[in-house]
Structure 1
Amino acid sequence: MKLPSLLYPDLNRTGSLGVLVVRLVTGLLLAAHGFSKLAAGPAGLAGGLAMKGFPAPTLLAWCATLAELLGGICLMLGLLTRPAGAVVAFNMVVAWASMHMADAAHFGTAKGGSFEYPFLLSSLGLALALTGGGRYSLDAVLFGRKTDSGGGGG
């Protein structure tokens, strides 16, 4: 007996829709935070990085800001999805490992939230780096790559 198609969907048809939703939401969140950092300038983030002992904190603040802003835009468009996902994942791993690790002990509580958000974004970035943009992406239009699962490509 087969499960209903709602519970056991054909990934050839629905996989890229799932990737599209993940791309749009993740990209929107990242681009919004990147734009916020850009509008405020690098001083705030650079100050936090300097307090943690990072070298060249202003340069790193600009890199993080642009990774979020441009990475988010690329993910929303499905343009260069794999490299954008990898950059986002790396940026967010650095964020939670360097700035939010103290709150990891409070995982699942209100105080753990400052760790959980960049941890989630790093995981989503990694997932998109692995799957690609899917059928509904500029990657698929420009480069014509799709996978059998419907979830990859680009």
Structure 2
Amino acid sequence: MNANTQHDIAKLVLRVTLGLLVLLHGLAKLNGGMAGIVGMVEARGFPGALGYGVLLGEVVGPLMLIAGFHARIGAVLVFVNMVFAILLVHMGELGSFGRTGGWALELQAMYLVSALALALLGPGRFSVNER
């Protein structure tokens, strides 16, 4: 196996893993309703309809990543979603540690940085439309 194939496999693994893990959050929001997200957005003084943007970052973007269909755009959707999640939900935990000693925002940071990496790297050869 040559280095290019290994790089493409690594991009596929990263893309599908990030897509599946974030998609689970989106599916939970679809099943549980959007009222909590809409209320949180309205509490910050923004129109509640903006809360539905979470579906772009947690359903549409992840599906794009999994398929490798305009995966850079999908990664940007996930990245922007994570920025808003950190700003709207997790700012109080920014300097905190979790129960096991790790940073309280390690999951959010991993999603954020993985999405940024995929936006920069592209989807690789094993995608619907390689770029």
- The reply to whether TM is greater than 0.5 is yes
1:36 aligns with 2:28: yes
Deviations 1:4-61 (Å, cap 9, x if unpaired)?
xxxxx9531211111111111100011111111112221011222233x14112x122
Larger radius of gyration: 1
Aligned counterparts of 2:47 and 2:103: Cα–Cα separation in 1: 28
Q: What is the TM-score normalised by the length of structure 1?
A: 0.76
Deviations 1:48-93 (Å, cap 9, x if unpaired)?
2233x14112x12211123210111110111101111111111101
1:90 aligns with 2:80: yes
Instruction: State the number of aligned residues.
Output: 129
Q: Name the residue aligned to 1:55.
A: 46
More helix by share: 2
Deviations 1:78-116 (Å, cap 9, x if unpaired)?
110111111111110111122102111114x33843x22
Q: CA deviation at 1:120?
A: 1.5
Identity of aligned residues (%): 31
Alignment map for 1:63-142 (pairs within 5 Å): 63-107=53-97, 109-110=98-99, 112-113=103-104, 115-140=105-130
**Structure-2 change in CA distance of 1:76 and 1:95 (3 Å):** same
Contact 2:12–2:124, Cα closer than 8 Å, also in 1 = yes
Contact 2:57–2:80, Cα closer than 8 Å, also in 1 = no
| Stretches of 4+ aligned residues off by more than 6 angstroms | none
Contact 1:78–1:136, Cα closer than 8 Å, also in 2 = yes
Contact 2:56–2:77, Cα closer than 8 Å, also in 1 = no
Q: Which residue identity is paired with 1:13?
A: T
Aligned counterparts of 1:74 and 1:54: Cα–Cα separation in 2: 31
| Unaligned residue ranges in structure 2 (runs of 5+) | none
Q: What is the TM-score normalised by the length of structure 2?
A: 0.88
